[in-house]
Amino acid sequence: MWTRARIKQEAKNSFKRFGYWMPFLISLITVFVTNGFGAGSGASSSATATTEYSFEHGSELSPAGFVHFFEEFLGEFGAAVENFFTNPLIAMTTAFILVMAFVFGIVISFGWGAFIAGPITVGAHRYFMEHRAFGSKFEKIFFAFHSGRYLNVVKICFVMNVKIFLWSLLFIIPGIIKSYEYSMIPYILAENPQISMERAFEISRKMTKGEKWKIFVLEISFWGWYLLGAICCCVGGIFVHPYYFATFAELYQVMREKAHGLGFADYADLPGFFPDER
């Protein structure tokens, strides 16, 4: 029976034994690759638009000038909306472009997740599982790419993401439940990248059976830390990432002990983590 306090303490102990800053770097790269790709463009576009308007109309905007600009904008916007609804060709073309953009965005998202973000996440989990036991090296973040079973990792990560997405279409709750049910799959791939898809899903499902609520509570226990980090110049949360990754590495260790103890996985499925031969 595991407790939040115990595995969090074990995560802190791993930093005392093997250091904090390399896990910090690994977690920062992983979070950027999986969540931060392309962020920040909106603010730049807004600043550019304001600057262009200021140069075009003189120096600083006066209240009267702003009102005039706003009236012109509303007039042009209203004319565009009227033209859109009265011109079937424009409406159909716009709808087609929006649908294609949506489909393209979905394809890019799943492709990035399967070919880049998924393997990087698997490598990060490999790093943190090694770090908790004996320390690890930076290049472990690329473990999936040079494991010899990169395409197997890509395939399983892709199918996992598609399943979570499809379950989410049934309402949010089923997708959340499935995301916790499949949450051990990247760790299983980090331990055994050549495992079959069927076994990876089966083992993760059995590992998380009866554990999903506790895993959820463990996850939300970090919300306070992230909120505090956001208050600290909006960047303090990045220092919480290593703690989060290390804690869930400890959780996976408990889950794999459960798998071996209950006999639904053996050492052929989960062979363990060992230091590289020197």
- The Cα-based distances of 109 to 31, 35, 100, 124, 142 in angstroms read 15, 11, 14, 20, 20
Instruction: Report CA dihedral (150, 200, 242, 123) to the nearest 10 degrees.
Output: -10
Name the one residue in this structure whose structure tokens are 């004319």. 79
* Cα 172-182-14 angle, rounded to 5 deg: 115
Q: What is the mean pLDDT of residues 147-153?
A: 96
Residue 41: how many other CB atoms lie within 10 Å: 8
DSSP E strand stretches across the chain: none
Task: With CA atoms as reference, report the closest residue to 127 among 119, 16, 256.
Answer: 119
Supply the pTM of this predicted model: 0.78
Q: Output DSSP code: residue 265.
A: S
Q: What is the mean pLDDT of residues 171-190?
A: 95
Task: With CA atoms as reference, report the closest residue to 38 among 101, 97, 105.
Answer: 105
Amino acid occupying residue 245: F
Residue 33 predicted with pLDDT over 60: yes
SS3 80: helix
List pLDDT tens digits, range 90-115: 667 877 888 898 888 888 887 898 89
